[in-house]
Each structure stands twice: as structure tokens, then as C-alpha cells.
Amino acid sequence: MLYCRLAENYFRIDPQEALAASKKAEEIARQLNMPLVRARALNTMGVANLILSDFDQAINSHYNALRIRKQMNDSLGMANSMLNIGNVYYKLNNPEKCLENYHNALAIATKLKDLKALSKIYNNIGSVYESEEDYANALAYFEKSIKMKEQLQDLNGLAVSLFHTGRVFILTNQTEKGLAYMHKALALEIQTSNNVSRVVTLRGLSEVYQSLNNFKQALKFAQQGYELAKTIQSKSEIMFALERLQEVYRASNDYEKAYKYLSLAAVYSDSLNNEQSLAQRNELEIKYDTQQKQLENLKLLSEKSIREKEFERRNLVQVLVILIAVLLFILALAFYFSWRRTKSNNKKLVEINGQIQLRNQEIQRQREELSGKSELLLKQRNELEKLNDFKNRIFSIIGHDLRSPFASLKNLFLIAQTSKMTESEIRTFFRLLDEKCDFANNLLDNVFLWASSQLSGLVINLEPIQVSDLVDENIRLLETAIEQKDLRITNNISDTILPLTEKERLNFVLRNLISNAVKFSYPGDAINIDAIETDYEIIISVTDSGQGIANEHLGKLFTAQRFTTNGTNNEKGTGLGLLLCKELLESINGKLSVQSQLGVGTTFTVKLPNKVTADKPVKMETHPALV
């Protein structure tokens, strides 16, 4: 208990010390079999890990604490665990899961009439509404929280609610009132040595003073926030503090320092993105472990039931043996009454035998149920293997589509750093930078569109799409690569070509096909994009006169073998783009085929339903492991 209290007092000042103390408390509680103390230690461990931006460990600790508290019927503890799980989802930008856990915690705390828990929950629900710009609801929840925290004299919690209230007033153009609330929060945080909350308040004050063009004050609070973030060793708070510093320096036209702090922030951002992926993956593993334990418990209960039935059957047999012995003894003593009693006893024996048969049938049925559950376990294991394969493909897709634009961005920044540019060159540089950012953003949208279509039973509404505009848009996105190779690319598609399809999926396919044509064309080559319309379908073709594909490799293009070759300028790929194109086309009733000759060129053909003949929505296949 001393270690628990030590950790709970440390996490606002030094999260690393809080983590060490809570781990020691959890270890001792586990050895002494003290589940409620262990749950308390796990809860503090999760809070410390969240402050340190270790999201996967945070959500693991809170789920383990919640499991113990449910087993021990600790209602207040369950509310606190749900509140903290919601906090992790808030940091992971998942407002739906966040609010779901907050409201579950609110229901328990309301039933228990626990003001301390209610004050925290009201504050956190207000924060979600604040992030969604629902300021009226946010203020309502913050006001409830402030009243309760003042009643409880909870200075740490009061500082948090005052800060958020101040932010809402700032966002609703009541700047003077908002600053007053923020400074009250800062004074309380200094009084209570609450470094964790103080970092956030300093950052908020810096933002407000920058918006008022008071760069001196903005820089002062930003620097204090950065130094404090380093002392608590929170990756996310260090990243936010670095971003705040670069924004102040950029606004005050000190671009050299702005670039320095932006570069440092990017390093922390990459680290946090990796940890968020780990947290999401760990969430799936938690769900899998929970499901496995439930099935194991069910199996154990079934085996226990069978043993009880067997025991009952043996007892029944023993009763029968004793009964028969008694009957024989009575027969020896009283032969005179044997004939009358024989009938009655035979009838009883028939009834008892029927009961035994019913018991045997019940045991057999339960054995069959166990066999069925074993098959279900095997099926679910296979489904989880499919889910793992799907996860790996997601990561491969992101790497495949994002490597090229971010490499281009890196080259642009290298040019900017090593060259002295004129105003005209700077404008050209930022135009190219804007194009690359747009391109990367579009790629992300399309990749996650494909990923989301695999994860749910999504109904796609098909509509007539003008293919010519999509082709022009993708040609513009690839303009730099086309100019580098001096290619002649021609869009021969009429504006009247309107297949019935889904825009983003078709756009993904066209971008990949045009990008491949550019990649495998030689300098000075020509690329033609054509389309013809029939009564039943629209046929789009992308033809290049580049290096072509050997016959023995054509069959590998649309499979999971990941066949790939380098482009004419040694451009690299992963071999997943055409497989994704094929899957996305099939999801919108389309088909993809290829014709190629080595050294002559390649033609990719897309067939889509004509708008006149295809009018039914497409329902995507639901991934079985996620139902």
C-alpha cells in the first residue's frame, strides 16, 4: 500500500518514479495474492505509462486492472479503470471508444454517488466535446466538474478543469476571461507541484499569447513548457512542446530556429506513430486472449459437468446394487410375498433403467458439444491467422504507396538546405512541396479507404464517374516524373464516358496503372489512355511503349507472390500495387487484365459496368475474424 501511495503521489511530478513504484507494488501484491491492491498498482502503472506516451503498456495495465476488479466486484475500481481506458483512447484519437468508456464509468459512479469519480468523468467528457468543437456541452460538463472539485478541495483536478474552461472561452472569442482561468490553473499547478498538468497549461498560454502577437510572452511559456516536458520524460509532451516552439519562432520570422525545433518534433512524431500502431495491435491481442480464456473456461465448465454426471451415474448404480441386495434378502426371508413384490420391483427397475439411459444420452450429447467447441476453437484460430496476414498486408501497402512521395519531400528539403534560392525558386520550391504533400495525403486516403473496406461489411454506393477528369488529375500528380523522362502522355477519353463505379477505388486503380506506365517507359516514349463504351460495359486501357513484361512473369502480377522489377530509371516497388488494384476493381464489379511483350510495351485493361446496365449497390465481404 505504501508503494501504491508513493506511485500515486509521484506521477504528476516524476512519471518514471511513479512507474517504478507501481511495478514494485504490483509484484508484492501478486506474491501475497492481494488482487485489489494489485489492481490499484496496475491502474497507477497505466496512468504513468500514458503520461510517458507508452500507449500499448498503458492499455494493457488498465485492461488487467479492470479484469481483476470485475472478478472482485469492485464497482468503484471498475469505474476508475474504464475512465483511464477512455483516457488512452482519447490520446489515440478514437473519440467513439473514448466516450463509450467514459459513459460506462459515469453510469457506475452515478449509481455509487461518488463525487470524486464523477468530477473526473465530467471533466474528461467535457474534453471530448471540446475537441469536437461542441463548446456548449463542453462548458456544461466543465462547470459540473469544477463545482464538485471545489467541494472536494481537489486542487489538482480543479486546475485541470479551470484550464479546459479557459480554453473554451478562448475558442469562443472571450480571450480575457479565458486567460484568467488559465492563469488560475497555472497557479494551482505550481502550488501542488503538478508538473504533468502544468506542461499542458504552459503550452496553452503560449498559444493564446501568440494569437495576441505577444511573442515575448508566447516564447517564455513555450520554453518553460519544453523544459518541464523533458523532466517528466513524456514523448508526446516533448513533441508538443517542440512544435509549440517552432510555431512561435516561425510567427516571429526566426526561420532557422523554427526549422531546428520542427526537425526535433518530427523525430518524436515518428516514435509516437510506431507506438500507436503497437497499441492498436496490442488491443487486438487482448481481445484474442480474452476470447481464448472464455472458451477455455467454457471447456472446463463442460468437463466439470460431465464429471458430475458420471458421479451421479455411479451413485445411481450403487443404489441399484444395494436395492437388488435388499430385495434378495427380503425374498429369502419372505418367499411368501415374493410374487406380489416382484411385479412392483420389476416396474421400478424398468423406470430406473430408463433414467440411466437418459443419463447416458445426456452424457453423449455433452461429449458431442465438446467436440463441436473444439472445432470452433480451430476455426477461430484460422480466422485469427487471416487477421494477422491482413495486418501484415496493411503495413506493406502503406510502405509501398508512401515511400516515393516522402522520398521526394526529403529531396526537396535537402535542396532547400544546401542551396541559396531566389524568391522565384522559393515559390517554385513551395509549389512542389505542396504538390508532394497533396500527393502523399491522397495516397493515405486511398490506402486507408482500401483497409477500411476490408475490415467491415461496407456497402458501396455506385454512381456515374467522369473518367477523363480522374485521368487528368493523376497525370498532374505524376507531372514531375513525366517531365524527368520527357514522356508524351495523352488522355484520349471523352467527357461522356461515365462508368457506374466508386470514385476513390477507381482513382486508386488509375493512379497505379498510370504510375506503372511512367515507371517502365523509356525517356521520350509515349503513353496513351483510351476508353470505349459498349451497351454493357466501359473498357479503359493504359498503353505504354516501355520495357514490357516477360511471359513467364505475367501470371504473377495479380497474386500474393509479390513479383516486382525496377523501372527504366531503377525505380523500385513492392509488387503489391497491381494485387490491390485487382481486389478493389472486383469490389466494384470490375475486372483487370494485361497484355505485354518484352521490349515492345504493355497494355492494362479495366472493364467496368456501364451506367445504364448496372444499378445495384455492392456489398463488401466482411472479414471473418472481425465479426
- Give percent above pLDDT 70 in the chain: 81
The x, y and z cell numbers of residue 339, run together, are 410374487
* Positive or negative: CA dihedral 249, 250, 256, 260: positive
Alpha helix (H) residue ranges in 419-466: 423-455
Q: What is the pLDDT of residues 268-318, one digit of tens each?
A: 776 665 544 444 445 544 554 554 455 455 456 656 666 666 777 777 778
The x, y and z cell numbers of residue 153, run together, are 478541495
**For the CA atoms of the chain, what is the radius of gyration?**
34
- The pLDDT value given to residue 532: 94
- The pLDDT value given to residue 304: 64
CB 521 within 8 A of CB 487: yes
What is the distance between the alpha carbons of residues 235 and 12, in angstroms, rounded to a whole number?
Answer: 15
Query: Cα separations (Å) of 349 from 352, 422, 605?
Result: 5, 108, 80
Q: What is the pLDDT of residues 142-186, one digit of tens each?
A: 999 999 999 999 998 899 899 999 999 999 999 999 999 999 999
Q: pLDDT confidence of 620, banded at 50, 70, 90?
A: very low
Q: What is the pLDDT of residues 14-47, one digit of tens each?
A: 889 999 999 999 999 999 999 999 999 999 999 9
CB 29 within 8 A of CB 14: no
- The pLDDT value given to residue 619: 46
pTM (predicted TM-score): 0.41
Query: Cα separations (Å) of 612 from 464, 508, 520, 578?
Result: 10, 23, 36, 28
Q: What is the pLDDT of residues 328-380, one digit of tens each?
A: 889 878 777 878 787 887 888 888 888 888 888 888 888 888 888 888 888 88
Residue 591 has pLDDT above 70, yes or no: yes
Whole-number average pLDDT of the chain: 83
The x, y and z cell numbers of residue 364, run together, are 453423449
- The pLDDT value given to residue 24: 95
Question: Distance between the two ends of the chain, CA-based, in angstroms?
Answer: 42
In the CATH hierarchy, which fold is given to the domain comprising 456-626?
Heat Shock Protein 90 (3.30.565)
- The pLDDT value given to residue 403: 64
Q: What is the dihedral of CA 296, 302, 303, 305, to 10 degrees?
A: 150
Q: pLDDT confidence of 621, banded at 50, 70, 90?
A: very low
Q: What is the pLDDT of residues 76-126, one digit of tens each?
A: 999 999 999 998 998 888 888 898 999 999 999 999 999 988 998 999 999
* Positive or negative: CA dihedral 333, 337, 340, 344: negative
**Angle CA 492–464–541, to nearest 5:** 30
From 549, 528, 563, 556, select the one nearest 601 (Cα to Cα). 549
The x, y and z cell numbers of residue 18, run together, are 511513479
Side by side, the strands of the sheet bearing 488-491 are 488-491, 526-533, 537-544, 601-609, 591-597
Q: What is the mean pLDDT of residues 381-385?
A: 77
Give me the count of residues in the chain. 627
CB 508 within 8 A of CB 501: no
Domain residues of the chain, as ranges? 2-212, 456-626
Which uninterrupted H or E stretch holds 532?
strand 526-533
For residue 585, the number of C-alpha atoms closer than 13 Å in the C-beta half-sphere is 24
Q: pLDDT confidence of 559, banded at 50, 70, 90?
A: confident
The x, y and z cell numbers of residue 70, run together, are 470485475
CB 42 within 8 A of CB 74: no
- The pLDDT value given to residue 197: 87
> Which amino acid is present at 311?
F
- The pLDDT value given to residue 293: 56
Residue 627 has pLDDT above 60, yes or no: no
What is the distance between the alpha carbons of residues 366 and 374, in angstroms, rounded to a whole number?
Answer: 12
For residue 244, the number of C-alpha atoms closer than 13 Å in the C-beta half-sphere is 32
Q: What is the pLDDT of residues 112-151, one digit of tens each?
A: 999 988 998 999 999 888 888 899 999 999 999 999 999 9
What is the distance between the alpha carbons of residues 93 and 103, in angstroms, rounded to a whole number?
Answer: 17
For residue 564, the number of C-alpha atoms closer than 13 Å in the C-beta half-sphere is 17
Q: CB-based contacts of 324: which residues, under 8 Å, 6+ apart?
A: none
Q: How do 526-533 and 488-491 pair as beta strands?
A: parallel
CB 237 within 8 A of CB 263: no
For residue 490, the number of C-alpha atoms closer than 13 Å in the C-beta half-sphere is 11
**Superfamily, domain 2-212:** Tetratricopeptide repeat domain (1.25.40.10)
What is the distance between the alpha carbons of residues 360 and 248, in angstroms, rounded to a whole number?
Answer: 80
CB 239 within 8 A of CB 269: yes
Q: Give Cα 589 distance to the centre of its chain.
A: 29
- The pLDDT value given to residue 305: 61
Q: What is the pLDDT of residues 484-511, one digit of tens each?
A: 899 999 999 999 999 999 998 899 899 9
CB 602 within 8 A of CB 520: yes
DSSP state, residue 522: P
Higher pLDDT: 410 or 546? It is 546
Other residues' Cβ atoms within 10 Å of the Cβ of residue 189: 25
Q: CB-based contacts of 611: which residues, under 8 Å, 6+ apart?
A: 464, 498, 499, 500
Q: How do 618-619 and 601-609 pair as beta strands?
A: unpaired
- The pLDDT value given to residue 436: 66
- The pLDDT value given to residue 284: 41
What is the distance between the alpha carbons of residues 305 and 311, in angstroms, rounded to a whole number?
Answer: 10
Question: Torsion-angle region of residue 153: left (phi > 0), alpha (psi -120 to 50) or beta?
Answer: left
